[in-house]
C-alpha cells in the first residue's frame, strides 16, 4: 500500500493518541516512523505491534522512580516503547551516560526515536546475541539481517556517545510501501482518536449558538 510521508506521520500520531497515549508522545512516534522510512525500513509492522501491545495491555508503564536514575523496569510484563521511548531519549539528551530498559517491547522503535531526536547513542542487546546499533546525525546503523530481531522484546542498554558532526539527514519524498494489514490496523486505531475528539466536542457543545433558533 502506498502511503505518503505526511500521511504516515499524521496517521501514526493519531493512532498513538487513539491508543491512549498523550499527544506529545504521538508527535514523537510519528517522527520515529518517518525515521524508519528514511532508512528503508517499513514502519507499519513495528508501529502496529507496539500499538497492539499498548492497547491490549501486553506492554505498559515503568517504575518512574527507578527510571529517573536510568533504569526502566516494567510495572507489568513488558515496557511499552511508545510510553518509555521518549523518556529514554530525554535522559540521553540530558547527558545520562547509560540507560537500561528491561523487557522493552520494541527496541527498534526506541532506536528510531533516538535517531529522530538526532541524539548520538550506542544501543546494546544485553544478551549479546545482536550487534550493537549506533545512532548519529539522525540515522541509525543496523545489520539488515537483524532488523526483525530488534523488533522483539529484549533487555536493552542505551549508551551516550560523544557528539560528532550535525549533518542533516537526507529526506525521502516518495511514497512509502507499507504492509497492507499492518497499515489498516494503524488506521483503525487512528480512527479512535477522531471518534474521541468528536465526542469531546459534542460534550462541550461545539457549534452551539451557530444556528438561529427562529
Residue spans of the domains in the chain: they are: 2-160
Judged against a pLDDT cut of 60, whether residue 95 lies above it is answered with: yes
Q: How many residues does the chain have?
A: 214
CA distance 6 to 9: 5
Q: What are phi and psi of 125, to 5 degrees?
A: -80, 115
How far is CA 55 from its chain centroid? Answer: 14
pLDDT band at 209 (very low <50, low <70, confident <90, very high): very low
Q: Does the reported pTM lie above 0.95?
A: no
pLDDT at residue 192, as a whole number: 83
pLDDT band at 187 (very low <50, low <70, confident <90, very high): confident
The answer to whether the CB of 101 falls within 8 A of the CB of 154 is no
Question: Using one digit for the tens of pLDDT, what is the confidence trace for 36-59?
Answer: 999 999 999 999 999 999 998 999
DSSP string, 70-121: TEE-BSSSSB-HHHHHHHHHHHHHTT-SEEEEEEES-HHHHHHHHHHTT--E
CA distance 72 to 92: 13
Which triple of cell numbers denotes residue 33? 516512523
pLDDT at residue 174, as a whole number: 57
Sequence-ordered strand ranges (E) for 87-132: 98-104, 121-125
pLDDT at residue 14, as a whole number: 95
pLDDT at residue 164, as a whole number: 56
Question: Using one digit for the tens of pLDDT, what is the confidence trace for 56-90?
Answer: 899 999 999 999 999 999 999 999 999 999 999 99
CA distance 134 to 85: 16
Judged against a pLDDT cut of 60, whether residue 98 lies above it is answered with: yes
Question: Using one digit for the tens of pLDDT, what is the confidence trace for 107-129?
Answer: 999 999 999 999 999 999 999 99
pLDDT at residue 175, as a whole number: 62
57 against 166, higher pLDDT: 57
Of 28-37, 72-81, 127-136, 199-208, the range with the lowest mean pLDDT is 199-208
Cβ neighbour number for residue 78 with a 10 Å cutoff: 20
Give the bridge partners for 98, in sequence order.
Answer: 159
pLDDT at residue 37, as a whole number: 94
CA distance 151 to 48: 11
Local structure of residue 47 (DSSP, 8 states): H
Amino acid at each position: 500500500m502506498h502511503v505518503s510521508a505526511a500521511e504516515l506521520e499524521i496517521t501514526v500520531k493519531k493512532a498513538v493518541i487513539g491508543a491512549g497515549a498523550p499527544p506529545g508522545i504521538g508527535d514523537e512516534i510519528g517522527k520515529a516512523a518517518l525515521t524508519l522510512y528514511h532508512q528503508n525500513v517499513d514502519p507499519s509492522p513495528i508501529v502496529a505491534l507496539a500499538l497492539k501491545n499498548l492497547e491490549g495491555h501486553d506492554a505498559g508503564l515503568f517504575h518512574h522512580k527507578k527510571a529517573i536514575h536510568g533504569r526502566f523496569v516494567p510495572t507489568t510484563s513488558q515496557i511499552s516503547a511508545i510510553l518509555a521511548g521518549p523518556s529514554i531519549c530525554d535522559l540521553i539528551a540530558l547527558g545520562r551516560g547509560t540507560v537500561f530498559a528491561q523487557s522493552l517491547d520494541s527496541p527498534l522503535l526506541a532506536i528510531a526515536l533516538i535517531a529522530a531526536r538526532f541524539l548520538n547513542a550506542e544501543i546494546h542487546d544485553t544478551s549479546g546475541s545482536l550487534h550493537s546499533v549506533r545512532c548519529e546525525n539522525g540515522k541509525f546503523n543496523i545489520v539488515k539481517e537483524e532488523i526483525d530481531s530488534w523488533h522483539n522484546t529484549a533487555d536493552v542498554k542505551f549508551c551516550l556517545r560523544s557528539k560528532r558532526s550535525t549533518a542533516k539527514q537526507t529526506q525521502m519524498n516518495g511514497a512509502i510501501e507499507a504492509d497492507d494489514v499492518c497499515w489498516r490496523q494503524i488506521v483503525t486505531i487512528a480512527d479512535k482518536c477522531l471518534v474521541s475528539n468528536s465526542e469531546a466536542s459534542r460534550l462541550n457543545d461545539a457549534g452551539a449558538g451557530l444556528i438561529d433558533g427562529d
